[in-house]
Homo-oligomer: A and B are copies of this chain.
Amino acid sequence: MKLIAVSLAAMLWLAGMVTTVVPRTPQNEWKADSIYTIKIPAGYRDWKLISVAHEAGKLNDLRAILGNDIAVNAYRAGKLPLPDGAIIARLAWAYTPSEENNKAFGNPQSFVAGQPTNVQFSIKDSKKYTLSGGWAYAQFNQGQSINVAVNATCFACHQAVKDRDFVFTKYSH
C-alpha cells in the first residue's frame, strides 16, 4: 500500500498534475504541515552555484541549483549527509531558443533561460523533518507556495537517491 501510494504520487508529479490533492493518509500528514511553514529563504538568489541542468519533456526548462553556505561547504568537502541548516534552491526558467545567439553562431544551437517557471527548496533539518529523511520540500510559483501535493511527491521521487541523502544534484567543479 505504501509502495502504491508512492508510485501514485510519483505518477501525479510526472504527469504535471502538481495541483492534484494527494489523499491525506498518516504517511503524508506531516507534509501538509511542513509546507505551510516554509517561506522563501532570504537572499537565495545570491547563493553559490552547485550545478546546472536541463529537463526536457513536459518540464522543458533550464535550471540552476544553488546552495546556501552550509550546503555548498558540505558539497565541496564531499560531506554526506548534508548538515542541518543546509538549503538547496532549484531555480528554473523556460527552455528558450535564442535567435540572437543562433545568428551569431550561424547554427540553431543556442538555448537560454526564458521566463522563470518556479523555484523549489530542499531544507535539511534532521530533527524537524524526521519522517522524510530530514528534508522538507517547497515549491513557489511567482513567489507563492503551491499546495501540499508537491511536497508529498518531492520526497517520493527523492527516494531514488536515498543513499546520497536524498539529493539528486552533484556538485559541478
Are A113 and B52 in contact (CB-based, < 8 A)? yes
A55 touches which one: B53, B100, B109, B160 (CB < 8 A)?
B109
Q: How many monomers of this chain does the complex have?
A: 2
Residue pair B62, A64 in contact (C-beta under 8 Å): no
A85 to B111, CA, bound (A): 28
Residues of chain B within 8 A of A113, CB atoms compared: 51-53, 172
B residues in contact with A101, CB < 8 Å: 53, 168
Q: A116-B172, A116-B173 are in contact. Are A160 and B53 (CB under 8 A)?
A: no
Cβ of A37 < 8 Å from any Cβ of B? no
A116 to B171 Cα, complex, angstroms: 11
User: How far is it, in angstroms, between the C-alpha of A107 and the C-alpha of B93 when the chains are bound?
Assistant: 20
Determine if A104 is an interface residue (Cβ-Cβ < 8 Å). yes
Interface residues of A (CB under 8 A from B): 10, 14, 45-46, 48-49, 51-57, 59, 62-64, 66, 91, 93, 95, 98, 100-101, 103-107, 109-113, 116, 157, 160-161, 168-170, 172-173
List 23 contacting pairs A-B, 8 Å CB cutoff, sorted by A: A10-B104, A14-B105, A14-B106, A45-B48, A46-B48, A49-B66, A51-B93, A51-B112, A51-B113, A52-B62, A53-B113, A54-B54, A54-B62, A54-B95, A55-B105, A55-B110, A56-B110, A57-B107, A64-B172, A91-B172, A93-B172, A100-B161, A116-B173
Given contacts A49-B64, A57-B109, 9 further A-B contacts (CB under 8 A): A10-B106, A14-B105, A52-B63, A52-B112, A53-B62, A53-B110, A54-B54, A54-B62, A116-B173
